[in-house]
Chains A and B, each alone.
Chain A
């Protein structure tokens, strides 16, 4: 049995004191019932690899994203903190997806550490497929924002190369229709649990202000970004 990254297992961040209060007793209980190996939060390489392959069934080869029935987002190169927060968001119903609720529910903190590190290290080419005619406009919006409409530059939080940072997602190479769906329906896609307000509120006014053609232009630009 080979163990991986025991040093990374304590980075589970809680969103709010309420969340912490709920989760701590559960965590303590879980620890007291598990084997010494699990209690240390280790996951074997075989277990982590099997789980990674399972994720890639839907999220695509090398987690580059996949068009299933829905556009299923790229996870490759995503900041670990963002991935962890989103997995927690599904479990806490801040994001409502039955499928991802079930997926998130069974992952141990150690498994989450292993998976998010693996996804973060992947760097496949973008899936592509977006219409190309508005890429320049998208680049302009991403880099400069639209001052006249009080839209800040996306780059100021997501980074000049859209690589993301901490809880801010990487957008480079993300599926264009996924980005369009999210930005068009922000209030149904994020921040769904009023008892657990989260950082997604930051995006709310921006998503609202962007027009549909602007959203599509930004989405197209990002979807080709390596």
Chain B
């Protein structure tokens, strides 16, 4: 029994050695061709990843109403997207789907993806009640100083294009805006050991009532970006 086993192992080892040697020779012989192919398949990977993101975030990443409102990524600040992807991994945002998505992304892939999304500029999906837009614009541009609500424009910019870690809101989905602002403390800053910039929005989101949130959401959801690329000026 024992000797049989050792024979089998010997055969296996010999076979493995042969396979290994053959593979080595093949690798040397095809080194040039393989590296070229690697490059092509890398860009193929990127294309595949982009279309994977767009399965849920919409064909031009303009957002999509799936089971949940799935946010627009088009024209979004690269630094914002990068920070949010990290937020999913660090459980600052708790979302199983996005945790798994983010977990598999290399830093190089994240750079490529965020640059790609920033460069997109499809028109907003729309669908918000039109009659709320004027009130929303007023709140966005001026805030409500009497009740201590800051103007959204101070941080998100007069055209809601965002800046750095501060998100673009122009064209964002109406229901996504409402869901996020209505549940801020459950949507952001979920990991007390990793405090983040989301804390800034907490008092603002808290102070806004439901109809004010709906008005602001309606306004930004209709906003088109004047530029093809987001504003990254500090």
Measured CB to CB, the residues of A under 8 A from B are 50-51, 53-54, 57-58, 66-72, 98-99, 102-103, 105-107, 177
Contact = CB atoms under 8 A, between A and B. Distances in A.
Task: Provide the main secondary structure of the chain A interface.
Answer: helix
B223 to A, nearest CB: 14
Contact of A177 (B146, B150, B166, B234): B234
Contacts of A68: 154-156, 163, 166
Given A53-B203, A67-B164, A58 B154 contact: yes
Given A57-B150, A66-B155, A107-B145, 19 more contacts: A51-B148, A53-B148, A54-B148, A54-B203, A57-B204, A58-B154, A58-B155, A66-B200, A67-B163, A69-B155, A69-B158, A69-B166, A69-B231, A70-B154, A71-B234, A98-B142, A102-B143, A105-B145, A177-B234
A69 B157 contact: yes
Would you list the 4 A-B pairs with minimal beta carbon distance, nearest first? Answer: A68-B155, A54-B148, A69-B157, A57-B150
A99 B148 contact: no
B109 interface: no
B76 to A, nearest CB: 15
Interface residues of B, number: 25
Given A68-B163, A69-B158, A98-B141, A50 B234 contact: no
B153 A57 contact: no
A54 B141 contact: no
B151 interface: yes
Nearest to A104: B145
B56 interface: no
B149 interface: yes
Contact of A69 (B141, B149, B156): B156
A112 to B, nearest CB: 13
